[in-house]
Structure 1
Amino acid sequence: MSERRKANVQGAAYFVTITVLGWVDVFTRKVLADELIKNIQYCQRNKGLRVFAYVIMSNHVHMIVQREGGTLAEWIRDFKSFTAKRIIHLIETHPDESRRDWLSPYFREQGKLTAQSREYAFWAKTNHPIELYTQPVFDQKVNYIHNNPVVAGIVAEPEHYLPSSAHPEQPLKLNGYDP
């Protein structure tokens, strides 16, 4: 079964992981992580996205999300497509991006390797969606998300990592969970 089908239950909450191709550390640049946040905020306002927990790591994003008015698979497809274009554009044009000389060719080469032979590819195809049926499973995934930066040795406590729902000043609107 394709992953697209796995995230097709309307109204269900899912744990998803969206990964940069080759695990390239793109989101070490605040401007690129901020672009991702802006796009999630847009989806919250305009695409029926509900966010319960998230963390933006250097090369992947973990989220617990739900979509009202459509399937999560559709949202993931559109989100990955739009954010890839925006992030590639910032890599190529932002004056503080010193890695453009190797990042841009890398993502363009990855695009040539896809079945669709696209101009570039940024995100890995898989999202690993897991439908969250019960509160204990939901809580386990929230703990996993929040502890990701701790396990990676970036911070000592989950609430010290800003691009995370564990941080008291995180920028996204969070929703409560009712299984």
Structure 2
Amino acid sequence: MSRKYKFRDNDQLYFVSFAVVGWIDLFIRTEYKDILLKSFQYCREHKGLELYAYCIMTSHVHLIIGSQKEPMANIMRDLKRHTSEQLHKAIQQHPGESRKEWMLQLLQQAGSQNSNNRGFQLWRQDNRPIELRDAHRLYQKLNYIHRNPVAAGFVEKEEDWLYSSARNYFGLKGLIEVTLLEPQVVTVT
């Protein structure tokens, strides 16, 4: 990972994106998305992850996160390792996964090309954490995260994407709890 993209200051919030190798559209199945949500929740409860925003797209994830307890690099490492193992197992065991052989072959191929892995690689190596030091950048990234499914043409309104914290920000029941940022500043641009 480049020196430009690292978790440097644990007192800051970060915008983080990470994607499945080969940009595989893995998250078209509810079971796979639920593995991510459970992992986010676990990290909130046991590792001190502060989750402010998230959006699970078909091939990638966007987050705004922080932590006052554990170093962010450690949380992301553990989150990606755990979800990688759980998702790999879920793909292998899914009785209706029509793309199983193709996906497993791509994951194995990616893993064999990277000495940091044992047998397979699910996530791309980069997280690209960006410090959100000012309100302008923070709310620009928050809006970007929530507008992502709209820009992709999946939904017309941000709050209609079930696997996003936009629901929480629009006063609807979200799938998991997030710490809301100041609502008076959150505007759609």
TM-score, L = length of structure 1: 0.93
Measured on the aligned residues, the alpha-carbon RMSD in Å equals 1.7
CA displacement, residues 1-31 of structure 1 (integer Å, 9 cap, x when unaligned): 8459721311311000011111000000110
Which segments of 5 or more consecutive residues in structure 1 lack a partner in the other structure?
Answer: none
Residue equivalent to 1:146:
146
Residue equivalent to 2:137:
137
Which segments of 5 or more consecutive residues in structure 2 lack a partner in the other structure?
Answer: 183-189
Please report how far the alpha carbon of residue 95 of structure 1 lies from its aligned counterpart in structure 2 after TM superposition.
1.8
Tell me, in whole angstroms, the C-alpha distance in 2 between the residues paired with 1:42 and 1:26: 21
Please report how far the alpha carbon of residue 118 of structure 1 lies from its aligned counterpart in structure 2 after TM superposition.
2.1
Give the counterpart letter for 1:105 in structure 2. Q
Write out aligned runs for 1:19-30 (5 A).
Answer: 19-30=19-30
Please report how far the alpha carbon of residue 115 of structure 1 lies from its aligned counterpart in structure 2 after TM superposition.
2.6
Residue equivalent to 1:97:
97
Please report how far the alpha carbon of residue 89 of structure 1 lies from its aligned counterpart in structure 2 after TM superposition.
0.2
Residue equivalent to 1:61:
61
Give the counterpart letter for 2:13 in structure 1. A
CA displacement, residues 124-177 of structure 1 (integer Å, 9 cap, x when unaligned): 011111101111211111100000000000000100000000122322211134
> Are residues 1:75 and 2:79 paired?
no
SS of 1:176's partner is coil
Tell me, in whole angstroms, the C-alpha distance in 2 between the residues paired with 1:82 and 1:3: 25
Change (3 A) 1:25 1:55: same
Number of residue pairs matched?
Answer: 178
Tell me, in whole angstroms, the C-alpha distance in 1 between the residues paired with 2:64 and 2:82: 20
CA displacement, residues 89-133 of structure 1 (integer Å, 9 cap, x when unaligned): 000002232211111121011100103352100000111111011
Query: Aligned residues: percent identity?
Result: 37
